[in-house]
Amino acid sequence: MKIHRKIYTKIYGPIPEGYDIHHIDGNHNNNDPSNLMAVSLQEHFNIHYSQGDYGAAHRIIQRMNVSKEEKSRLASLAAIKANAEGKCGFALGHASTAGKLGGKKGGAYAKANRTGIFALTQEQITAKNQKAALTKLVKSGKACRYPKETI
């Protein structure tokens, strides 16, 4: 049991089934009994959603019986807000640029250290490419994997 739940139980008695303990001032380190309040999941969700704390609202809604679409919508709101505040990820709109940069660095490392495809010999690469080309032709119906027998 988390410390804030223990403190609440010691001061106010048992926590009702299905209830959360909400930190009124939003500071999870402030476990003063006057800062703790027992609320239902729906009330707890409503508090955080109305404050624009979509991350906390999303964590609460995971325990509620709501549609996947609603959970997804709330996750999007939480991610957009966290990105805008610079709390995680990349600045808005820059994920693809960062991905390209990471890919270039990873490719340079693989080439320098002969890992991944760079660890293969030219013959192995050629065989791999031929197999991939044959697979594409077979899947498209333009070739047969097994040669026809001649009589």
User: At residue 122, does pLDDT exceed 90?
Assistant: no
CA 88 – CA 82 distance, rounded (Å): 6
Report yes or no on 32 lying in a domain.
Answer: yes
Same domain, 132 and 74: no
pLDDT digits (tens, 9 = 90+) for 50-69: 998 888 898 999 999 889 89
- Beta-carbon-side half-sphere exposure of residue 102 (alpha carbons within 13 Å): 7
The count of domains in the chain is 2
Query: pLDDT category, 100, cuts 50, 70, 90?
Result: low
What is the percent of the chain where pLDDT is above 90? 32
Strands (E), the chain: 19-23, 36-40
pTM of the model: 0.54
Neighbours of 130 (CB within 10 A): 10
Q: Which amino acid makes up residue 140?
A: S
Mean pLDDT of 84-110: 62
Range of the domain at 25: 3-84
79 and 11 in a common domain: yes
Q: How many CA atoms lie within 13 A of 74 on its CB side?
A: 23
Q: Measured between alpha carbons, how far is 15 from 13 in angstroms, rounded to an integer?
A: 7
What span, in angstroms and rounded, lies between the C-alpha atoms of 151 and 149? 7
pLDDT in tens, 2-40: 999 999 999 999 999 989 999 999 899 999 999 999 999
Residues 11 and 75 in one domain: yes
Whether 151 shows a pLDDT value over 60: the answer reads: no
